Amino acid sequence: MLMCLKCGGIAYRNSYFGTVTCQSCGWKVSIKEYEELENQRKEVSEMNDKFQVDYLDKNGAIKVISDQDEKQTYTKEEVLNSVIWGDALKVLKKMPEEIFDMVFIDPPYFLQLPKKELRRWTVKTVVEGVDDDWDKFSSFEEYDDFIRNLLTEVKRVMKPNATIWLIATYHSIFRIGKIMQDLGYWILNDIIWVKTNPMPNWLGVRFTNATETLIWAVKDKSSKKYTFNKDYAKQFGVGKIGANVWVLPLCNGKERLKDEKRKKIHSTQKPIELLKRVILTSTNEGDLILDPVAGVGTTGYVAKALKRNFVMIEINSKYVEWIKKRFEKSLRITDKPRVSERRINQYFNLENNS
């Protein structure tokens, strides 16, 4: 008798067919796959136990709060400028309503990558994609439910004139947009982030995907007095009118957090420059920003450097630990775009057009 790793019910091993099947939810995997998943689960649970003891830290450069089931509510003061280690869907329910001026959400992508290794066609090295457990959902329905629940909780904690940003690739942005509209959010813009250093389509079977889309919205159509710093928007957008296209590289170089073996800590760490643009265009100093799926904490890190307040939530203890480390080194930041207009023009070959 085994534990079902999907619903926690009772699962049975069938050595003849080489499978494990759950009697409650019908989940079925090969014995080999079950053993791999079980090993991963044990590793995470051991790490979490250790974390529970080591990191209830309030004295570091960032307040780290470990969410507990017994904790029923949080005050704004309790969570101000902290990262909460916990499940956003539970933690948000405990927060007071209408406290945030802006929300940035970089949710799981649900990339649905094939299980087999993807190798670069020419050099034959393995492509490091996003294959993390946090990006896995069993179906579109399960993914949609997660996004819908998250956006419902978030809406409650947004001030009436707050704005919200959601970033995703073509895998999920259309679903997210529909869910937002169904929930009554009113879309103000989409911003196309053009990456100057995208991962090529190694197999040469599709266009290289060099963009991500950011949706920028208000809670509902009647929200009018939201913050929009148009001078920054003009400065950051492409061309003289500051169009809704931002050209900047993926997070790399010294900015990219890596472990001692030079392996990336987080597969989707966002560039500081991207968050800088989001924060400067849609908030003012002293505002309170929420990131409920914080990863390695880019939103709070940039918010702090730009004199904004923040609250972050992240479910994975390893990332929370890295947020803590990251905040020990303060960030120096300017409000000028890091990618110059000249480089943007070069990129689009527009130099001689003006």
Among candidates 290, 316, 321, 315, which has minimal Cα distance to 303?
290
Among 223, 269, 283, 309, binds ligand SAM (CB under 6 A): 269
Site for ligand SAM in 302-321 (CB under 6 A): 313-316, 319
**All residues at 6 or more sequence positions from 224 whose CB lies less than 8 Å from its CB, including other chains:** 161
Site for ligand SAM in 97-156 (CB under 6 A): 106, 108, 134
Least gap, CB of 190 to ligand SAM (angstroms) = 18
Per-residue binding letters, 229-258, with ligand SAM (x by CB under 6 A): ------------------------------
**Per CB under 6 A, 87 contacts ligand SAM:** yes
| Residue among 28 and 325 whose Cβ is closer to ligand SAM | 325
Site for ligand SAM in 318-347 (CB under 6 A): 319
**Per CB under 6 A, 270 contacts ligand SAM:** yes
d(CA 214, CA 199): 19
Least gap, CB of 262 to ligand SAM (angstroms) = 18
| Residue among 125 and 139 whose Cβ is closer to ligand SAM | 139
Give whole-number Cα distances, 54 to 66, 165, 219, in Å.
11, 33, 39
Cα torsion 278, 249, 338, 256: sign: positive
**All residues at 6 or more sequence positions from 289 whose CB lies less than 8 Å from its CB, including other chains:** 100, 101, 102, 103, 104, 279, 283, 299, 300, 303, 308, 309, 310, 311
Site size with ligand SAM, rule: CB under 6 A? 19
Cβ atoms of 60 and 327 closer than 8 Å: yes
Q: Using CB under 6 A, list all residues that contact ligand SAM.
A: 87-89, 106, 108, 134, 266, 268-270, 293, 295-296, 298, 313-316, 319
